[in-house]
Amino acid sequence: MPIPPRVLTVAGSDSGGGAGIQADLKTMLALGTHGMSVLTAVTAQNSLGVQGAWELPAEAVRAQFRSVVDDIGVQAVKTGMLSSAGLVETVAELLAGLDVPVVVDPVGVSKHGDPLLAESALDAVRTELLPTATVATPNLDEVAQLTGVHVREEADMRRAAAAVLEFGPRWALVKGGHLAAGAGAGSGDAVDLLTDGTEEHWLRAPRHDNRHTHGTGCTLASAIAAQLAKGDTVPQAAAAAKEYVTGAIAAGFRLGTGIGPVDHGWRLRG
């Protein structure tokens, strides 16, 4: 039996199973790759929000990474929740020694608005983590947090992407899912902009009337990493990931009394 492409996620745990490491591994499996994990933090989290978070020590993160990379090997890496400057610096140092695609999801806040990245870690994300990225995938809140650029309409997304690229990733995927309806051409769609500063790819999909969207950012970034591990180009990977996450949002379901998760297994259920 052929060995599937191997993808490593470096991120925090979501005890509710909708985002974080759990969403990453589900996505990687659904897209035909073997997912592996480096846990950076443990959260107590459900459909209502994050009730607590505990960061793992840098030596635990480093040991997990070396254990997987030195024995099993990886063909792509995705990063998620890195809550402190120390963790960001540790992970950036580890990634600098790899020659595989890296997808950086610069997680700043949870779907419920809970902070997941210390203010003191922003400089390390800008100067150490983003330069390691093949693709950076910030949402509009994270763009504002990292660059100071506030996107109020679709036309602002070019300026936002340019500001992200100044920190060194080869490609920026600015996610417009938070853009208010009526904020630009095609505003009925959920639109993302992928660019390397030369090429532009506008990724559009129907905006589904479904509030159960917990885990969308983790899922998209993990889907891109899985597609890159399978040999896609960045534009191909982003387009395939957009299609996958759009279907997962459409199939999202209620768990608990708050915001439910997207359905990572929607294709498996026909």
- Which of 90, 195, 216, 246 is flagged as catalytic? 216
246 is catalytic: no
Q: Are strands 6-14 and 76-79 parallel, antiparallel or unpaired?
A: parallel
260 is catalytic: no
- Which of 175, 176, 230, 252 is flagged as catalytic? 175
- Which of 17, 18, 108, 217 is flagged as catalytic? 217
Tokens of 195: 């660019």
216 is catalytic: yes
3-class secondary-structure state, position 75: coil
Contact 214, 222 (CB under 8 A): no
End-to-end CA gap in the chain: 25
218 is catalytic: yes
The helix (run of H) or strand (run of E) holding residue 68 is helix 58-71
- Which of 137, 213, 219, 246 is flagged as catalytic? 213
- Report the side by side order of strands in the sheet with 49-55: 49-55, 34-46, 6-14, 76-79, 102-104, 135-136, 171-175, 189-195, 200-206
The Cβ-side half-sphere exposure at 197, using a 13 Å CA radius, reads 11
The Cβ-side half-sphere exposure at 5, using a 13 Å CA radius, reads 22
- Which of 215, 219, 252, 260 is flagged as catalytic? 215
Tokens of 10: 């470096």
78 is catalytic: no
Which of 25-62 are b and which e, b meaning 16 or more Cβ less than 10 Å from the residue's Cβ?
bbbbbbbebbbbbbbbbbbebbbebbeebebbebeebe
- Enumerate the active-site residues: 175, 213, 215-218
